[in-house]
């Protein structure tokens, strides 16, 4: 019944290494989460303060872009080893999409 289970026996040094590595990852995720909550609070404050939409919209887009990068890097584990090529293509695609939208907006408004 349990023929698919594997018992992994680690030495004390391996156990401590994995424990430190996971603690570091968790600290990074919690820090990223706290930053995202702070950015969200900034966005809500800007909207609640009723600043000009010409000021709010670019700031909100910048805060949203920062949050997307933080979520991809920490919560989707794009910063881990072996995800470099995938991260490169994702960020390249985002950059090209940004340039395309910027070009279209520039063409329409000028």
pLDDT tens digits for range 42-96: 999 999 998 888 999 999 999 998 998 888 877 777 767 777 788 788 889 989 9
CB 56 within 8 Å of CB 47: yes
The percentage of residues in the chain with a pLDDT greater than 90, rounded to a whole number, is: 38
What is the distance, to the nearest Å, from the Cα of residue 5 to the centroid of all Cα atoms in its chain?
Answer: 34
Return the structure tokens found at 105: 């907006």
pLDDT at 2: 56
Binned at pLDDT 50, 70 and 90, residue 40 comes out as very high
Average pLDDT over residues 15-42: 89
User: Given a cut of 70, is residue 6 above it in pLDDT?
Assistant: no
pLDDT at 29: 84
pTM of the predicted model as reported, rounded to 2 decimal places? 0.66
């Amino acid at each position: 019944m349990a023929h698919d289970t594997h018992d992994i026996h680690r030495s004390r040094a391996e156990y401590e290494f994995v424990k430190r590595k996971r603690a570091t990852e968790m600290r990074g995720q919690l820090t990223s989460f706290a930053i995202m909550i702070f950015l969200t609070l900034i966005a809500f404050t800007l909207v609640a303060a009723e600043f000009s939409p010409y000021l709010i919209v670019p700031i909100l887009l910048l805060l949203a872009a920062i949050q997307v990068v933080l979520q991809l890097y920490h919560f989707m584990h794009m910063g881990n080893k072996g995800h470099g090529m995938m991260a490169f293509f994702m960020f390249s695609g985002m950059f090209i999409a940004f340039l395309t939208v910027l070009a279209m907006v520039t063409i329409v408004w000028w």
